[in-house]
């Protein structure tokens, strides 16, 4: 079995779905620490007439110290959701896929309330289903495996009976690759270079949230994800 890993991310980029596409199972690392500095966990980019537009889900931090992603709460969710859905309508209302997408995201946001992890996972599941990438997703917390770094990933692979893991390209710069070898687990890297696709608002910008790909290309976005993904043996 081949598995991959990701932190729960709000409306992730195409590389997330490239790894998911080539996996039998993806483990969402909900027990990992939410980074204090810059992170793509709660932010990504869409596109407008002036270029890239950052979208950020505000999370409560003050007085809470270090938090697991599973513990994150959205700050003023009603105010944020109104602003986000308004932005989406302003820049993507001419998409053939806008109305059903807006309806689905509105329901996802409503159900999540102030629970960031639920929002992130429901939104990425929505895009996976939209692209017809039907792979199993489980939470790290379901496995009860704790840890960090390379040892965490190896322990999760062993726990789930995986023989192969997919890691992002160049992840070996930050991981102890010998731990995978010692556990008898083959490592495959996925290099994702976004193939251009027709976008709204002028010249192509790569590596936006995959929501842009969906709203521009619909189900044909799956082909672009596959064309943008290249597997490299370690």
Confidence check: pLDDT of 36 > 90 = no
pLDDT in tens, 106-131: 999 999 999 999 999 999 999 999 99
Confidence check: pLDDT of 139 > 90 = yes
| Domain residue ranges of the chain, discontinuous segments joined by + | 2-233
Q: Is residue 212 within 8 Å of 47, Cβ to Cβ?
A: yes
What integer is the mean pLDDT of 7-35? 97
Neighbours of 196 (CB within 10 A): 11
Predicted local distance difference test score (pLDDT) of residue 37? 82
Helix (H, G, I), strand (E, B) or coil at 206: coil
Residue 220 φ then ψ, to 5°: -70, -10
Q: Which residues contact 149 (CB under 8 A, 6 or more apart)?
A: 175, 176
Cα dihedral sign, 78-41-97-216:
positive
Strands ordered across the beta sheet of 229-233: 136-139, 25-28, 2-6, 164-168, 186-192, 229-233
What pTM value is reported for the model? 0.96
Q: Which residues contact 225 (CB under 8 A, 6 or more apart)?
A: 14, 17, 18, 21, 131, 133, 210, 213
What integer is the mean pLDDT of 214-232? 98
Q: How confident is the model at residue 232 (pLDDT cuts 50, 70, 90)?
A: very high
Predicted local distance difference test score (pLDDT) of residue 131? 98
What integer is the mean pLDDT of 69-85? 98
Cα dihedral sign, 99-102-46-131:
negative
Share of the chain above pLDDT 70, in %: 100
What is the spatial distance between Cα 126 and Cα 106, in angstroms, rounded to a whole number?
A: 12
Predicted local distance difference test score (pLDDT) of residue 38? 85
Confidence check: pLDDT of 234 > 90 = no
């Amino acid at each position: 079995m081949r598995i991959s890993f990701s932190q729960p991310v709000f409306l992730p980029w195409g590389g997330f779905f490239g790894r998911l596409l080539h996996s039998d199972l993806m483990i969402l690392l909900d027990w990992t620490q939410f980074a204090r500095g810059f992170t793509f966990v709660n932010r990504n980019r869409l596109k407008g007439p002036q270029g890239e537009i950052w979208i950020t889900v505000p999370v409560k931090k003050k007085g809470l110290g270090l938090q697991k992603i599973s513990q994150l709460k959205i700050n003023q969710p009603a105010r944020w959701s109104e602003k986000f859905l308004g932005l989406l309508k302003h820049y993507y209302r001419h998409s053939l896929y806008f109305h059903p997408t807006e309806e689905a995201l509105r329901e996802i946001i409503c159900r999540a309330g102030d629970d960031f992890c639920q929002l992130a996972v429901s939104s990425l599941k929505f895009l996976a289903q939209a692209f017809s990438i039907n792979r199993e997703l489980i939470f790290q917390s379901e496995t009860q495996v704790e840890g960090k770094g390379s040892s965490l990933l190896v322990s999760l692979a062993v726990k789930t009976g995986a023989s192969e893991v997919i890691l992002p390209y160049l992840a070996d710069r930050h991981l102890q690759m010998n731990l995978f070898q010692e556990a008898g687990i083959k490592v495959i890297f996925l290099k994702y270079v976004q193939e251009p696709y027709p976008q709204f608002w002028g010249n192509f910008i790569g590596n936006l949230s995959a929501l842009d790909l969906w709203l521009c290309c619909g189900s044909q976005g799956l082909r672009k994800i596959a064309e943008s993904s290249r597997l490299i043996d370690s």
